[in-house]
Amino acid sequence: MIKQEAFGVEPWGLPETALDLDVLAQSESVFALANGHIGWRGTLDEGEPHGLPGSYLNGFYEARPLPYAEPEYGLPESGQTIINVTNGKLIRLFVDDEPFDVRYGQLRSHQRRLDFRAGVLTRQADWVSRAGAQARISSTRLVSFTQRAVAAIYYEVEPLDGQRRIVVQSELLANEQLPGSDGDPRRAAVLKNVLQSEHTTAQDSTVLAVHKTAVSGLRIGAAMDHLVDAPTSVLVESHAHGNGGMVTASCVLTPGQRLTMTKFVAYGWSGERTVDAISAQVIAGLTGAKQSGWDGLLAEQRAYLDDFWGRADVAIDGDEEVQQAVRFALFHVLQAGARAESRAIPAKGLTGPGYDGHAFWDTETFVLPILTVTAPEAAASALRWRHSTLPTARQRAKQLGFEGAAFPWRTISGAECSGYWPAGLAAFHINADIADAAARYVEMTGDEQFEQHEGMDLLTDTARLWRSLGHHDAPGRFHIDGVTGPDEYSAIADNNVYTNLMAQQNLIAAADAAEKYPDRARELGISPEESADWRDAASAMVIPYDEALGVHSQAEAFTRHQVWDFEHTPADDYPLMLSHPYVDLYRKQVVKQADLVLAMHTRGDAFTAEEKSRNFDYYEALTVRDSSLSACTQSVIATEVGQLDLAFDYLGEAALMDLLDLEHNTRDGVHIASLAGTWIALVSGFGGLRHRAKIVTFRPRLPEGIARLAFNIEVRGRRLQVEVTRSTARYLLAKGDPLEIVHYDKSLKLTAGQQQQRSIAPIPPRQRPQQPAGREPAHRRNGTSAS
């Protein structure tokens, strides 16, 4: 676990006051910089020591075979793994011929800070070599939001105790040595030396390297150029080698004199363009970066983020840790998707190789709700990527014997990369999750062009899948059998409530779109009979309910299963999937992550308030949260049913998932969906935000640990500011045409510049529900977590 005392708590940044080599890999993930296209892990400038080196380009992968003990029809034959591409971060320092290495000599001080407003990672170190030479090293690193292909570093070194020969060596390096795998299935496959050199060159202070993958056939170009400045004569040399090249600057300095190196790096990749074309692309990127200059890149970065925070900031009074955490979360969510531009948003963003760099359903269910109301262009981009994979999804559906499109459980390019049938390939709910994200985007943005084209394509093909996957029985009920819902400890279940409710919504949305756009419906071959059939299936959808217990059964017969023996399960056995066979998990009442409870959030209209309370209490006693996706959902519904203290506890878990390394795998990258869940727990939970049929509603309520919550959202071109205290809610339309909202079932019409205030009635206390033994969330009091 990351030692929290190493991180300071401040509202607009994450400072590290000391370097702890035991948690180097975790801090590399936390300090990663990205823009949705390029990802640079927060490794030290000199490259060593490192926990897990990583430089990534979104969508750039190598294919690998997926071995099976026995071949089965329909299983994918190959997987895709994100590649550690050419490292452009490396800047090595030599002081009187001795390499700067924090493991040797004396590190007198070391500070790093991730700045959420400036969008940079800064570092300063005072170091004494084994020979006694003293030097101060500082660097500032950025991955540009405005120039998609560009990253840059400003590096400065100063001797502190006398005349010293300073040599700074900047490098491009492909095929870095990576640590081996430890067998954790959440981690990436380790592929070694996958980049084959096609062209390298060095001239003056510029190095260019082009490589190609052997199997996927993707080509990558990386180039770097430098500006070197010092008060004395500097010798600059460069040379290339098979895996890249380096630029070396050497001079003699005395105390008070500094050598500065500005390093510009550009990346590009393609599966089609030639070596010459890729080379031209990255050289053009370098030219644009040099034209802006270091100060220009900083100014562009700050202006971009000023605009983002003006739309997206969440302010909290009463909990400094959560205040820092939600801005940390928003910053990383933005980094994951801002410039993805028709590429996926992976589960780890571009901060690490966890899950092989794959995108899952969490993008649409947890990440896009934020981006839709804070950075809608990024949400549209992610949905257009899904749309671009429709041909592959249609082929997959046909292979499985279904109509429409079957989107992959995990993928980089759009092809299915999950070789596990029960918990992956049977999780068809991803199709409804994508449809839900598309419909939500249209509702909140009013983007009719998207609705009529990409949106309608997605709704149509997913509706066709549900109609062919499900069936009517004799009484006329519509069943969807043999699927896996969000809870991966229950597989091949009949009538999973979450899946069925989301499919129901999907079918109705597709039928509504066909009615709204008849010309497009004819183009897509949607007959009136097919549309009516979708509505019939939706109205007859089976939603299991256990009359004896008075709760919804997560899936058919789930509540008849034996309850897991939580009392005799040691703490070290969690997560259960790493210590118990699935054959045991599948036949017990034990929930990995919110499933039925998630249905109450995404389809809250399908449950009464009383049903929500009873369901929540029942599933609290079964949910072990072996997934980072669970705590935020449990927080939202805990708030809705009046369990505010418990909701606050779950908020803390979601918010600090990576800052405290709660799941012990932050080393492989931050949890983008859990970070998004911080915003969801605050805005959808304590802010009470819901939207359905173009109506935005709020049912705000704060726990004791938060005195004030303020946030912004964008609704169809309007900017709405919401401020909540324990007794009142204030709504201000900052810009845009009048907007109608609902506060606790009462309609309000807002006009720009006029604030409206409404009261929040107190609620009676309720008995806190029980969690499985040893799986209670840490109690959060006065802004801190306490066991």
Question: Which mean pLDDT values do the consecutive 10-residue runs of the chain (787 residues) have?
Answer: 70 96 95 98 97 97 89 89 97 97 97 98 98 98 98 98 97 88 54 90 97 97 98 96 96 98 98 97 97 98 98 97 98 97 96 97 97 97 98 97 97 94 92 98 96 98 98 94 97 97 98 98 98 98 98 98 97 95 95 98 97 98 97 98 97 96 94 97 98 91 97 96 98 96 96 96 92 95 60
Burial label, 778 (beta-carbon count in 10 A; 0-12, 13-18, 19+): middle
β-pairing, 708-715 with 746-750? unpaired
Asked if residues 35 and 23 have their Cβ atoms less than 8 Å apart, the reply is: no
Structure tokens, 768: 């806190």
Asked if residues 209 and 221 have their Cβ atoms less than 8 Å apart, the reply is: yes
pLDDT of residue 475: 86
pLDDT of residue 2: 52
User: CA–CA separation, 396 vs 148, rounded Å?
Assistant: 33
User: CA–CA separation, 134 vs 257, rounded Å?
Assistant: 13
Cis before residue 575, ω within 30 degrees of 0?
yes
Burial label, 296 (beta-carbon count in 10 A; 0-12, 13-18, 19+): middle
Q: 10 Å Cβ neighbour count for 114?
A: 25
Per-residue b or e along 485-500, where b marks 16 or more CB atoms closer than 10 Å to that residue's CB: bbbbbbbebbbbbbbb
Asked if residues 666 and 711 have their Cβ atoms less than 8 Å apart, the reply is: no
pLDDT of residue 181: 59
488 is known as an active-site residue: yes
pLDDT of residue 186: 47
C-alpha distances out from residue 389 to 21, 218, 398, 405, 461, Å:
42, 18, 15, 10, 12
Q: Which of 552, 408, 363, 526 is nearest to 457 (CA)?
A: 526
Tell me the per-residue pLDDT of 584-614, one tens digit each, with 9 for 90 and over: 999 999 999 999 999 999 999 999 999 999 9
User: What does residue 93 show for φ and ψ, rounded to 5 degrees?
Assistant: -125, 135
Annotated active-site residue in 300, 488, 653, 663: 488
Structure tokens, 287: 């030219």
Asked if residues 218 and 212 have their Cβ atoms less than 8 Å apart, the reply is: yes
Asked if residues 11 and 330 have their Cβ atoms less than 8 Å apart, the reply is: no
Q: 10 Å Cβ neighbour count for 304?
A: 17
